[in-house]
A and B are shown apart, each in its own frame.
Chain A
Amino acid sequence: MEAEVRTPPTICGMGHRMKRKEDARFLFGKGRYVDDIKLPGMLYMDIVRSPFAHARIKSINAERALAMDGVVAVITGKDLEKYNLHWMPTLMGDTQMVLPTDRVMYQAQEVAAVIATDRYIAADAVEAIEVEYEPLEPVIDPFRALEPDAPVLRTDKGKTDNHIWHWEVGDREATERAFQEADVVVKQQIYIPRIHVASIETCGCIADYDPVEGKLTVYMTTQAPHVVRTALAMVAGHVGLSEEKIRVISPDIGGGFGGKVPIYPGYVIAIAASVLLGKPVKWIEDRSENLQADSFARDYHITAELAATKEGKITALRIKTLADHGYTDAAANPSKFPAGLFSICTGSYDIKHAFVEVDAVYTNKPPGGIAYRCSFRVTEAVHAIERMVDVLAQKLGMDPAELRFKNFIQPDQFPYKSALGWEYDSGNYPAALRKAMDLIGYEELRREQAERRARGELMGIGISSFTEIVGAGPSRHFDILGIKMFDSCELRIHPTGKAIARFGTKSQGQGHETTYAQIIAEELGIPAEHVQVEEGDTDTAPYGLGTYASRSTPTAGAAAAMAARKVREKARKIAAYLLEVSEEDLEWEPGVFRVKGAPDKSVTIQDIALAAYTNHPPGMEAGLEAVHYYDPPNLTFPFGSYICVVDIDKGTGQVKIRRFVAVDDCGHVINPMIVEGQIHGGLTMGFAPAMMEELVYDEEGNILTGSFMDYLLPTAVETPRWETARTVTPSPHHPLGAKGVGESATVGAPAAIVNAVVDALSPYGVTHIDIPITPYKVWKILHEKGVV
């Protein structure tokens, strides 16, 4: 279904498949990324990294490096310690080393930095620095980390064990009772492995300190430039960096996916180097550094249980999780949510009782726990509940679609208050699943499956009916470093009727320059092509919390609509003045105010814009502009139903996805083409960890997947053909009825794939497979079950 379209193609408001305004520059190779920027006198930084996962640094000898032509400086933790910059806070209130003075805590951790006049000299100098290490016993397994005799990693914090925090939500006793009274209980261990966003562009920055003006300009691959500016002012205030003297510019970004929210040590070292040397310093990670040292995602060891009646009505959910955070909690969640929005784990189902607890531990692995295109731990939540529903269906001998229909929150139950405290805004889960089943021909596929099974063939059908939770968020609950998670739009209309709009968000490929322009076109009737959208420069953009967690449309998109409506209200006054009628006598259609009953008497928004600067009503301020900071009243809850069909090659264990139908509902759609693109990309990023991606460490903490040779990303060849469709259930509280869509598919897809594979293998007693589902894993199961 296409969204309702109210504007003509000349205006191109909501619902038009407008080609992306930003694409021309990307297609012509004219994008401007951090590494494209070259400043006069710029120096280059490269980083010495630890070969050990846990070791004491006995000495660092930089003599040979410093003697090399072109090497300007070598910076160690001891140097930063003089300025108290060797540690920094994480967004989660933990602490992280910028450079170590004593111990390294994971393989590939930063140990020292070289500054040189040339990128190549810097790389050679890194090889020339001699570091003497005393290896210490590493803690790699998070369960081992909790054993009493495990080495304690964070003695610097006065810790006596490796436990970071315990978090729980729900009614423990009521849930316990529901489990005791249940006819049927199922329990499953589910591991969601450590993965990496692996954006095409790695991280990097140029720090440019002007010692005369005392001004620091940082070009940085960041999804949240304003947060970075404020964090830098908070962390480095004591060395003279003041917020009005800091400018963060986030140029074009080649993919973020959550990995460009944190502030990495490399950024801080580059800034320190620029301040010390008074010259611009560029630091760009290479691919291995990006994979080995930057924030990971997931790494949740989940034990999930469902209680149900024998008819298949789910009565309770209980989840216990161990979260491996590496050596520091450097996740990027809202401050009050250490496990993100994991408590959305009751999913699309009306479950009366639920209890969830998460314990976080330190290990000798890279820090993180960021949300990889998953709205703060929502993938983990969806994977757990969507797997468990299938485990229950299998136990009951019931069709997984039937079990879902039986337990869905029904359309008339919205707004729905979940057992874990969320108020779902709107949804129609049965409609989305029914549509997906019709599109794929579900009943026919089940008949085919029965025939194939009789012939000994392995075919599986998997469903995932997910509910997302995005758009953080209402400021009473959501903040980062205490800053409320609103977002903003500043809109100015020029005298010739064209517009510029600036935002606190930052596109990394989502198409903001087009989407926001279409929202303003919808509200003001100014053609979208005449609306210039700017983001990413803290000197010009209004304050905002940035782009992640599918929050741009729910927050800044709403701010755009609200700012445009403020402009329209002023435009109405000017129109009344120009037409010599009262405001009440005017009616609005996109781009024009007309006099009621005299439709040939009208003024266009362009006429009004000119008048705002040339002929505005007496007593009114000149100009036509507005600013809006939008604080959403609630989160939005996009949802969808995905169905996947797989065939398994018994000889090799290879799984082939034959079909994958994705029905998404993100409320009103601004640009259907962009939404489809987001879903295609999201499905591929759901497919990848389901089938291929995993960061693997050996017992010593050596990373075994430190390059794209072994950290497997799908190409177009492996990626299935996606079939997408839509239902539209508007958000009742969003000004446009939109919900956000950037992460839905990544969140919903893996469970559909796993459910299909498990379904194929269920005749042999298989109830669960952890992702990634590799051919080897499948073959091993077939081998153990005596199928081959």
Chain B
Amino acid sequence: MAEKKQARLTKVLDYLKHDDPFSKGVAFCPGCGLELLLRFIPRVLGNDIVITGTPSCSAPVLLGQNNQSWHTLSYFGTLMTGAAANATGLVRYYRKAGIDNTVVCFNGDGTANDIGFGNLSGAAERNEPFIYICYDNEGYMNTGIQKSGTTPFGATTTTTPYGTVSRGKNLRRMNLGLKMAMNKIPYTATATLSDLDDLAKKLLKAKEAKERGFCFLHVFAPCPTGWGADPADTIEICRQAVKTNYFPLWEAENGRIRMTKTVKKPKPVNTYTKLMKKFNHMTEADHVILQDDVDYEYCLLGGLSVLEAECQLPVSVKDQGETS
């Protein structure tokens, strides 16, 4: 009986080779996607990583309070405008001192896409050897749910409220992952929390690829508090985001995009939006706009991945992908 049960054990547990460096009771909201991601990263990559981060939802826990801390990792707190630049400094120091470790720059979408994007872009251009992980909760959740560049069309936040004048955000969201893939850095990937084996594979691949240069991971992490969702639905939201192509999973090595999970029959986007209150007010017409946006981005990605497979790339580009 017991052996039969053992055989069903999920394979994700095999990736969790290291101890959890965080203490058990940590001040994150119940059902927080960020907490799962934050505990997952050191368990896969090892506890000798150095995390740098900015003021965000992750900072109260990563930085510690008074003169005590919540975890045993090394953490370097920086400003939002200089996240990637500080990580660059750390990496260069470690290289000069001959210390071999992994620097993980762990930021929210506000830092990665809006405030610290200049640094991120610069680090990508210089191909600095560290891993940049952006957890995307689609807004500035720590300061009180303001809209950010990755907030989707129609979402209500405190700065884009629903009322007589405003009907949620009236702009389209930016696609941060695709922006970074176009920089032709060694490794770019999107991941989410419903596919943890996929996330673990991508983390390990990024650790390997960081020997060749800059790695960027865009992780979709729902915020039940900010989105008005049931905390129990966190993983379900991630799953539906993938199934509706709202957040497709792909990876790009040297800018060559490959889908890691293709959905055969994508569901309409309202199966995703009905899971949370921030889209409650949206009408059919609003859903059409959001659906068009999602379809457009997915078509673009699909087209790029097909192009990579079909077109005759110059030999030098192919070599770069395999050897450098």
Chains A and B form a bound pair? no
Which residues from chain A sit less than 8 Å from chain B, CB to CB?
A: none
